[in-house]
Amino acid sequence: MALESFPPLILISTRFLLSGSILLAVSLLRGGKMPRGSELWKTALYGLMILGIGNSALTFAELWIPSGLAALFITTSPFWMVGIEAALPGGERLHGPTVAGMLVGFLGTALLVGPDAFHEGVGSSVLKGFLVLQFGCAGWALGSILQRREGYKTHPFISGAIQQIAAGAGFLIPALLVKSQPITWSWRGTAAFIYLVTFGSLVGYSSYVYSLARLPVAVVSIYGYVNPVVAVFLGWLIYAEPFGKREMLAMLVIFAGVAVVKWTTSESAKASPSQAPSRPALRRPKQPSYRSES
């Protein structure tokens, strides 16, 4: 809905610059400390990967496909998390049942993409949206895994604010240089922008970064089940986006594949804890004291 008023590059840049600045200012005023040195630039780099690639891919994909369908496509993100983790040095190897679960999930995505791609060819808007979103999922997964491996010295809210500012700044120059349609103010577009800043960034992404620092990945990735359901419902409610039997079946197949992957990876970790790959220890962040000094 925000794209009704804002061009994609301007939307991405202004959204994250505003939300990141608000979150950083509030966190610093309440006693938070800025990271320094390599931790600062790595935090910014991971923000470019997670938000700059991941979220911007979603923004651009929604120029071609409905938001509900886009939400279904990004349910493949747990597959990218597992696959990239296995490909990185010291990562957990893929097992047969895990691969089988991934194949089940890809069957679900093929059920969504296949018919349109078959009829419209490689120029299909659905296929283009799907490929852009998979690129975004890969960037989101890689950035999240690398960030988690680094450990945390800084409070997650500070880290999340820096990442949002980095993503917004990364898109600022392209937003200023690339010609696009002018901003057309409307109450729907403005309300959607405020919603994205407040609930999508300040609340949603801050919660994701906080959870990533303190909870197992398997628990954090549950958002992949919840977001699509909410997005599909809102798309149907507001835009009357189609959601028929094929979309429902595909969603259930993808969810089944994700469930198999999550179950097999958790069972594998329980069965052979001694063979778990070595990786940097996760240092829990010390929560800054937000009490005023007397």
- Is the pLDDT at 25 greater than 50? The verdict is yes
Tell me the average pLDDT across 71-98: 78
Question: For the chain, what's the residue count?
Answer: 294
Q: Can you give the pLDDT at residue 191? A: 85
Instruction: Please identify which residue in the block is written with the tokens 């496909």.
Output: 65
Closest CA to 231 of 221, 241, 218, 222: 241
Instruction: Please identify which residue in the block is written with the tokens 């990218």.
Output: 80
∠ CA(38), CA(40), CA(45), 5° rounding? 90
Please give the C-alpha separations between residue 195 and each of 32, 101, 200, 232, in angstroms, as whole numbers: 25, 35, 7, 17
In the chain, the amino acid numbered 47 is: G
Rounded to whole angstroms, how far apart are CA atoms 75 and 224? 6
Q: Can you give the pLDDT at residue 150? A: 80
Tell me the average pLDDT across 219-247: 64
Rounded to whole angstroms, how far apart are CA atoms 39 and 91? 22
pLDDT > 70: what percent of the chain? 73
Closest CA to 4 of 239, 176, 164: 239
Rounded to whole angstroms, how far apart are CA atoms 181 and 6? 8
- Is the pLDDT at 74 greater than 60? The verdict is yes
Provide the mean pLDDT of the chain: 77
Tell me the average pLDDT across 214-228: 62
Q: Can you give the pLDDT at residue 95? A: 74
DSSP string, 251-291: HHHHHHHHHHHHHHHHHHHHH-GGGPPP----PPPPPPP-S
pLDDT > 90: what percent of the chain? 17
Rounded to whole angstroms, how far apart are CA atoms 162 and 293? 25
- Is the pLDDT at 280 greater than 50? The verdict is no
Are the C-beta atoms of residues 258 and 73 closer than 8 Å to each other? Answer: no
Q: Can you give the pLDDT at residue 164? A: 94
In the chain, the amino acid numbered 233 is: F
pLDDT digits (tens, 9 = 90+) for 184-207: 778 888 888 888 898 888 888 888
Please give the C-alpha separations between residue 281 and each of 121, 155, 277, in angstroms, as whole numbers: 47, 17, 11
Tell me the average pLDDT across 242-256: 74
Rounded to whole angstroms, how far apart are CA atoms 153 and 36? 10
Please state the pTM of the whole predicted model: 0.71
Lowest mean pLDDT among 51-55, 145-149, 176-180, 240-244: 240-244
DSSP string, 57-115: HHHHHTTTS-HHHHHHHGGGHHHHHHHHHHHSTTPPPP-HHHHHHHHHHHHHHHHHHHH
Which class for 153: exposed (0-12), middle (13-18), buried (19 or more C-beta within 10 A)? middle
Tell me the average pLDDT across 271-275: 48
Rounded to whole angstroms, how far apart are CA atoms 119 and 39? 49
